[in-house]
Amino acid sequence: MKIAIAGATGRMGKMLIEAVLNSTDAQLVGALEHSSCSQLGEDAGAFLGKKTGVLISSDVAQVLNNSEFLIDFTRPEGTMSHLAVAEKMGTKTIIGTTGLSPDQMNSLKNASAKLAIVFAPNMSVGVNVTFKLLEIAAKMLNQGYDIEIIEAHHKHKVDAPSGTALKMGEVIADALGEKLDDVAVYAREGHTGYAREGHTGERKEGSIGFATIRGGDIVGDHTVLFAGDGERIEISHKSSSRQSYAQGSLRAARFLQNQSNGLFDMQDVLGLRK
């Protein structure tokens, strides 16, 4: 598999490059960065002390010309710019970027009419198995349980709640026959005029609450709490390394080898779809 990596100098980009270089069925053929990146022209494997012959470039068309697959874990604007070129060139795309707007998601769906795409807010195999466990739990615990989603990430993460937390909420809401937008509670703050008193009122039945933590170098922790009278059930996933995201991305590329077009997620890749 001839693979190009977007965001090649970032934390996730480096992990992806290392995973591709260590894979027996993948070849690194391109490394993308923005035009103001200070490392343009350097070897993409320099951070590992390796010479790959692949130089970091900002020329999307040139990089994708030699690529069968693009793996993109960047920012929404960059991802959509890369996708427009990938669509023209037929480069199958794996997207782990979070924080896409509704309009950007529509662009993704439109591109998938001609292009094979895997889009998932979290490429970890373990996280996607967790999604399936949450679907089962929500259906079984559909009465008498309050649901809270607690997520923690490093201090540099710019979106909140995380894409993974939102996906967890969507999975649970769908299992309950609801739309997340109708039941989600993203913040709780009580105040009257200028006096902040902390009174928020009782919890609304059927709501799904979110709590966000940002600090240090936390890779990604997610816990869903089903709180009933006299008991609670917690389903958690904790990441200690981005390696799981990188390995999941390669698994997604292998899945796309047999797809000509369409928009897929990791549930499709892992065969967990109904």
Catalytic residues: 153, 157
Q: Please tell me the distance from the alpha carbon of residue 216 to that of residue 233, in angstroms, as a whole number.
A: 27
Contact (CB, 8 A) for 8 and 14: yes
Class of residue 34 by CB neighbours under 10 A (exposed 0-12, middle 13-18, buried 19+): middle
Q: What residues have CB less than 8 Å from 173, skipping those under 6 apart?
A: 179, 180, 182, 183, 184, 208
Q: What residues have CB less than 8 Å from 185, skipping those under 6 apart?
A: 204, 207, 208, 209, 210
Q: Phi, psi at residue 132, to the nearest 5°?
A: -65, -40
Q: Which two tokens stand for residue 141?
A: 């615990």
